[in-house]
Amino acid sequence: MQHAKYAFYVAVAVCLAPIGAAHAYDGANCKAPGNCWEPKPGFPEKIAGSKYDPKHDPKEIAKQQASIDSMEARNAKRVAHFKKSGKWVFDVDKIPE
């Protein structure tokens, strides 16, 4: 009886183990609607501080928005001048104040 019980537990463990190990990310287990990512077996939930930490430089990743902001400002000057004068001047340094 004891043996049978033991065998049963072993059988359960053997059956469950591969399921646990094979619980690879298949995209179907969601934390919230639209948020279903899971780390793959052996990979961390957060990469910061791990060997996969991208260590992004905040100065580098701020460059795109800075560039867009200045393009928008230059475009606004060009459009305002065009609306006022009917002439398009691309070079903002040549737009009269």
Partner 1 sequence: MKQVMNSVSLLGVCLASILVASGVRAEDKLDALSKSEDNWVMAGKNYSANHFSTLTQINTENVKTLRPAWSFSTGLLSGHEGAPLIVDGKMYIHTSFPNNTFALSLDDPTRILWQDKPKQPATARAVACCDIVNRGLAYWPGDDKSPPLIVKTLLEGTVSALNANTGELVWKIENSDYKVGSTLTVAPHIYKDKVLIGSSGAELGVRGYMTAYDVRNGEQKWRAYATGPDSDLLIGDAFNKANPHYGQKGLGTATWEGDAWKIGGGTNWGWFAYDPGTNLVYYGTGNPAPWNETMRPGDNKWSMTIFGRDLDTGEAKFGYQKTPHDEWDYAGVNVMMLSEQKDQNGKLRKLLTHPDRNGIVYTLDRTDGTLVSANKIDDTVNEFKRVDLKSGLPIRDPEYGTRMDHLAKDICPSAMGYHNQGFDSYDPNKELFFMGINHICMDWEPFMLPYRAGQFFVGATLSMYPGPKGDRQKYEGLGQVKAYNAITGKFKWEKMERFAVWGGTVATAGNLVFYGTLDGFIKARNSDTGELLWKFKLPSGVIGYPIVYQHKGAEYVAINYGVGGWPGVGLVFDLQDPTAGLGAVGAFKQLANYTQMGGGVMVFSLNGKGPYDDPNLGEYSAN
Tokens standing for 90?
Answer: 């691309």
b/e burial code for range 72-92 (CB count within 10 A of at least 16 → b): eeeeeeeeebeeeeeeeeeee
Query: For partner 1, which residue of 60, 94, 96, 97 counts as binding (CB under 8 A)?
Result: 60
Q: Is 45 in the site for partner 1 (CB under 8 A)?
A: yes
In the complex, minimum distance from the CB of residue 62 to partner 1, in angstroms, rounded to a whole number: 7
Q: State the sign of the Cα–Cα–Cα–Cα dihedral 78, 79, 83, 86.
A: positive
Give residues in contact with partner 1 (CB under 8 A). 24-28, 30, 32-37, 39-40, 43, 45-48, 52, 54-58, 60-65, 67-68, 71-72, 74-76, 78-79, 82-83, 88, 90
